[in-house]
Amino acid sequence: MMEEIGRVLLQDGQQVVIEVERKSACNHCDSKDNCGVSSVSKAFSNKKQLIELTTSEVFETGDMVKLGIPERTFLRSAAMVYLVPLMGFIAGALLGGSLSQVLQSNHDLTSLVTALAFGVGSWWVAKRHCGDLARKNQPQILLNLGKQTLYRG
């Protein structure tokens, strides 16, 4: 189970809106001060994402909650986003190569056009499927952590 901490913004009946801050892995590396990727990551980091969930639990504004999503769902989405368009691109290139021999056309141009068409088409299909997958597999509230307290030492 992949877990993340979020803060409850509001609750209206059984609908609760939770704010989750997306984190970058660049802040955990020993080379973060000398890395160009880290600089770019810092410029675009601290993005907040709002998640709306249905729950029977009662929360107060400001409550911290632990959210979880199964790894299987995450890995399936990643495979759909990355592998399906890649496989479509490769299949399109192979089909274009065969098609160019039948049509007696420019091999490279035909392969490129069909590869792009299949790549974009499979990306579109994967994107639609991932949207359906995300709606079916919403994060779950695992634990109410209560109000956030600041340590002043």
CATH at 149: 2.40.50
53 and 81, same domain (yes or no): no
* Domain span at 96: 71-136
Give 50's DSSP letter: E
Judgement on whether residues 28 and 53 belong to the same structural domain of the protein: yes
pLDDT by residue (tens digit) across 83-126? Answer: 999 999 999 999 999 998 888 889 899 999 999 999 999 999 88
C-alpha to C-alpha distance for 23 and 45, rounded to whole angstroms? 7
22-69 pLDDT, tens digit each: 665 565 566 656 666 655 555 555 678 888 888 888 888 888 999 888
Check whether residue 92 and residue 148 sit in a common domain: no
Amino acid at 127: K
Cβ contacts of 9 within 8 Å, gap of 6 or more: 17, 18, 19, 50, 61
Do 65 and 7 belong to one domain? yes
Residues 64 and 76 in one domain: no
Number of domains in the chain: 2
